[in-house]
Structures are given as C-alpha cells and as structure tokens.
C-alpha cells in the first residue's frame, strides 16, 4: 500500500508515496517505525559555569547520541563524563574503564584506564576562544538492567596556547556494572563544572 | 524530521550467522547500522559480510580492512588485512550478555553497481576489560549489494543478537 505527502515529488522514502496519510496509514507506519525521522531530539542544553546534566534518560532507546559543541573549560584540562543510577541525585565516581586514541599533528597517544573516576572524552582542552571541544558520543544499553552501559565517541578540539589547533580522540568506555543508568553529567578535570557547553541528546529510534 | 530512517530491526537467537536481506536499495546511498546485543558463549570477534542482489553472501576474498583495537588494560593494536573473506572486525567481545556493548557502522554505496562498498565502524565492548575498536573496510566488487551478514570469528552460536538498519535520506 502506498503512502504519501502532498506536494512532494516522490523523495527517497522507505515506502512508496502517493497521496495523503490517513489515520490508518499513520498507525501502520508508526508500528513499522517508519513514521518520521529516526534520529529523535530528546533534549537540548546550554550551560555556563555549570555541569551539563541530562537526567530522566528515556527508557525506550538502546542507543542514545549526545552532540557536543562549544564545550569550554575553566582551565587547560580534560573533559569527562559520569553516569548515575539514581537519576542524578548522585553520580558514580569510580570503576569506569576507557580506551581512547588521541592524536594531533605531531603525536599519537594511547589513553586508557581500568579504574577511572570518570570516562575521559578528551584533553588537554585549552581556554582560548577557538579551543572549544566538539564531539559525538554514543551511549548504549543504559536502560538495560542486565547489561553494562557503554560509550563510543569521536571528538575534536584545540589547544591554541601550544599552537595546536586540532586534536582528536576516538574510542570508548564502560561502567562495568549491570544496572540501569538514567542520568549523565559532563564536566571537566577531576571533576568540576564546565565553563560552558551546548549539548543535544538524541534517541536513535527503534520499534 | 530527521533524515535518518529506520528500515529494519531484527532480533534473533541461537544462530551462528544473521542475514539481513533486502535493506539496501536505490533509495539511500548511506546506511547506518547499530548492533546493541551480540551475546556469544565464547570470547571472539564479531565480523561482517555483504549479501549481493541475488541474495548470496559474498564470501570471496575481495575485502580489505584496517582498524585499531583500543584496550583499557594493555597496548593498542593495529590490524590490517587485504583480500580476506569478511569486511572487518566489528567488535572484540567476551562472554555473557553484559559484555555486549554497542556497534555503530556506516555503509557507503552498497547498492551501486559502479562503486565499491565501503564501511566505517566503531564499537565498545568488554572482553575481561573494556575494548574499543575503530575500523574501515571495503568490498572490492562493483556489484549491487542488498544486505549484510553478521558472523563471528569462532563460528559460535549467538545466544541473542539485535541489529537495526537505517537509511540516510537525501531528497532529490
């Protein structure tokens, strides 16, 4: 059965289009996960001189994605995250593991730990106006009490004071405790409020 | 409305390979695949192959790959191969459902019959301790692909597996 938008000339849809959605069409497409886009904006935050906290993480996604831009630090340092099992009343401060590759034009470095107080996202981030930290961070299975909560990430930022204008990390981390985690806190150093950040949280749709 | 479109969601259990068919088409050039459950009885690597438009799994030694395995407890390892029979290592995972983290892959131009099929992927999992992997891969065949296969290096039976496939819509 074809579905459609009025005024559209058959764009690339997963189901063929011709006509106007009926209530039945909407119900059928929704049940297939094909109604609307599949990257669903959950929350946007812009903070100054504060941690950037996301609480009440939705329970209907296996995969969440944080889009970070303009993350700024108060002093040259690393940026990190912690997670919570009590919806942000407290954030877990031990037991994290991570493994990241960091690189910049002259040096590649392995960053790793099996007993960290946070998951490292990147560093050293500078305090110059052009040094802001930007990243995509995926979070997996946070809503599953039988699984650990995992992260993958890819980032880029600057350290202009050292004449380094692009550094990257990629890799991931885990809190190897099988329980539901329902909040995330982004901060700097070990572990304090950011100078600023703009972060969007998306859910990657599932049926 | 975002331009990411869910095409297929598949769960399975007690299988050694999972074939996802008829997901690549002329409607999208770029696909995103997320795998959030890949529970195996023995520690091993999760791998990937393509399925051609005739429905046959491409097992020819026409794949190249390169990747970096990032270990939280030991030195990182580079992996590279040419002319192998699978696309790349997606993840290095231990036993037990809690160890299965997440894999996100992007597949480029699989349906095109004039381009090779390329992939990039990134994963996070646990095998005793945390493992991250970043990989690139290519199938050096200018043939149209309609789907893909998830397998593992030891040919073990997946206790459970969950795979979601999305298309990145581009309006013409």
- The answer to whether residues A17 and A79 belong to one domain is no
- The answer to whether residues A12 and A109 belong to one domain is no
Contacting residues of A for B27, CB less than 8 Å apart: 12-14
- The answer to whether residues A122 and A55 belong to one domain is yes
Whole-angstrom distance, CA of residue B172 vs CA of residue B169: 9
Closest of B51, B157, B135 to residue B91, by C-alpha: B135
- The answer to whether residues A21 and A51 belong to one domain is no
- The answer to whether residues A154 and A139 belong to one domain is yes
Establish how many alpha carbons lie within 13 A of residue B140's alpha carbon, considering only the half-sphere containing its beta carbon. Answer: 10
Expressed as residue numbers, the domain containing B116 is 4-168
- The answer to whether residues A77 and A5 belong to one domain is no
| Residue pair A156/A125 in contact by the 8 Å Cβ criterion | no
- The answer to whether residues A56 and A153 belong to one domain is yes
Expressed as residue numbers, the domain containing A122 is 39-204
- The answer to whether residues A111 and A27 belong to one domain is no
Domain total of chain A: 2
- The answer to whether residues A70 and A157 belong to one domain is yes
The complex's ipTM works out to 0.92
Whole-model pTM? Answer: 0.90
Chain A contact for B76 (CB, 8 A cutoff):
yes
- The answer to whether residues A190 and A158 belong to one domain is yes
Q: In this complex, do A37 and B1 lie within 8 Å of one another by their Cβ atoms?
A: yes
Residues 97-116 of B with CB under 8 A from A: 97-102, 104
Each residue's pLDDT, cut to its tens digit, for chain B (172 residues) gives 678 889 999 999 999 999 999 999 999 999 999 999 999 999 999 999 999 999 999 999 999 999 999 999 999 999 999 999 998 778 999 998 899 999 999 999 999 999 999 999 999 999 999 999 999 999 999 999 999 999 999 999 999 999 999 999 876 5
Contacting residues of A for B125, CB less than 8 Å apart: 150, 174
How many Å from the N-terminal Cα to the C-terminal Cα in chain B?
A: 16
- The answer to whether residues A28 and A129 belong to one domain is no
Chain A contact for B146 (CB, 8 A cutoff):
no
- The answer to whether residues A10 and A56 belong to one domain is no
Angular region, A19: left φ>0, alpha ψ -120 to 50, beta rest: left
- CATH number of the domain that residue B136 is part of: 2.60.120
Domain total of chain B: 1
Q: What is the DSSP letter of B114?
A: S
Span A99-154, pLDDT tens digits: 999 999 889 999 999 999 999 999 899 999 999 999 999 999 999 999 999 999 99
């Amino acid at each position: 059965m074809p579905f459609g938008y009025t005024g559209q000339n058959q764009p690339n849809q997963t189901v063929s289009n011709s006509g106007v959605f009926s209530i039945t069409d909407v119900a059928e497409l929704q049940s297939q996960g094909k109604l609307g886009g599949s990257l669903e904006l959950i929350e946007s935050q812009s903070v100054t001189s504060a941690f950037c906290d996301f609480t009440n993480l939705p329970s209907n996604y296996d995969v969440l994605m944080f889009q970070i831009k303009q993350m700024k630090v108060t002093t040259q340092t690393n940026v990190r995250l912690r997670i919570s099992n009590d919806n942000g009343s407290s954030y877990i401060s031990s037991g994290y593991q991570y493994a990241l590759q960091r690189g910049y034009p002259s040096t590649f470095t392995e960053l790793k730990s099996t007993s960290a107080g946070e998951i490292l996202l990147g560093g050293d981030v500078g305090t110059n106006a052009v040094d802001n930290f930007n990243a995509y961070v995926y979070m997996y299975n946070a809503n599953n009490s039988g699984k650990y909560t995992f992260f993958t990430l890819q980032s880029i930022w600057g350290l202009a004071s050292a004449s380094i204008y692009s550094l990257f990390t990629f890799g991931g981390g885990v809190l190897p405790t099988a329980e539901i985690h329902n909040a995330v806190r982004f901060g700097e150093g070990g572990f304090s409020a950011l100078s600023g950040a703009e972060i969007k949280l998306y859910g990657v749709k599932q049926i | 409305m975002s331009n990411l479109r869910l095409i297929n969601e598949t769960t399975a259990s007690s299988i050694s390979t999972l074939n996802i068919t008829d997901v690549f088409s002329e409607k999208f050039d770029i696909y995103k695949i997320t795998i959030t459950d890949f529970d195996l009885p023995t520690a091993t690597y999760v791998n990937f192959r393509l399925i051609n438009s005739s429905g046959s799994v491409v097992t020819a030694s026409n794949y190249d790959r390169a990747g970096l395995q990032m270990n939280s407890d030991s030195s990182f390892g580079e992996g590279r191969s040419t002319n192998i029979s699978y696309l790349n290592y997606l993840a290095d995972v231990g036993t037990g459902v809690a160890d299965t983290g997440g894999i996100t892959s992007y597949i480029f131009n699989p349906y095109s019959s004039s381009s090779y099929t390329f992939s990039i992927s990134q994963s996070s999992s646990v095998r005793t301790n945390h493992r991250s992997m970043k990989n690139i891969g290519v199938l050096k065949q200018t043939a149209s692909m309609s789907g893909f296969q998830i397998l593992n290096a030891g040919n073990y039976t997946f206790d459970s597996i969950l795979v979601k496939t999305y298309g990145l819509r581009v309006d013409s």
